[in-house]
Homo-oligomer: A and B are copies of this chain.
Amino acid sequence: MKRIAIDMDDTIADFTSKHLRVYNEVFNESLTVEDLNGKKLWHARPHKAKEILDLLADPEFFRDLEVIEGSQEIIALLNEQYEVYIATAAMDIPHSFSAKYEWLRENFPFLSEQRFVFCGNKTIVNADYLIDDSPRHFVRFPGQGILFTAHHNLDQTGYPRFNSWEEAKEYFF
């Protein structure tokens, strides 16, 4: 049975929308994803990069992210014919561990927690496919990297791309 590893933030969990919302509340702005011009928030506002990253230090930040449209239904289907693992670069924000775990248990209850991988460098992940919004994880990944479209990766080429979870269904079935 082939194995698919799937990232969390901006792949199944809508990280950017919450980060923007909290940023706007704290700094009294009304930035939208279009205003980011394809950059991550901390690159779009470099003079506030530290404060922007500090917003993630709240241990509950990752607990209530919205689920990316279609991910639950399609991953439930994939899970019947593939070994689905969730692989998230959680070591960048170690206080997020519990919130990420609880989020996965709540929103993807059909996945065993034995299939969760909280890691740093994803070259350690032994899978046939990795679906991720960050192409940096594909560089030494031994399988096939597939980019999940996010505002910050629209210019990336060189990898297959899913613009939606519907496209993942078409690719794997």
Query: Which residues on A are within 8 Å of B, measured CB to CB?
Result: 3, 5, 85, 87, 90-91, 94-95, 97-98, 101, 112-121, 123-127, 142
Residues of B within 8 A of A85 (CB): 124
Instruction: Provide the bound-state CA to CA distance between A5 and B124, in Å.
Output: 9
Number of copies: 2
Structural contact, A126 and B142, CB atoms closer than 8 A: yes
- A114:B127 contact, CB within 8 angstroms: no
Query: In the complex the two chains form, what is the Cα distance from A116 to B116 in whole Å?
Result: 14
Closest approach, in angstroms, between the C-beta of A43 and any C-beta of chain B? 20
Which secondary structure characterizes the binding site on chain A?
A: mixed
- A121: nearest chain-B partner, CB-CB: B114
Chain B residues with CB under 8 A of A115: 120-121, 124
In the complex, given contacts A87-B124, A98-B98, what are 7 additional A-B residue pairs having Cβ atoms less than 8 angstroms apart? A5-B124, A91-B113, A94-B97, A95-B98, A97-B97, A116-B120, A124-B127
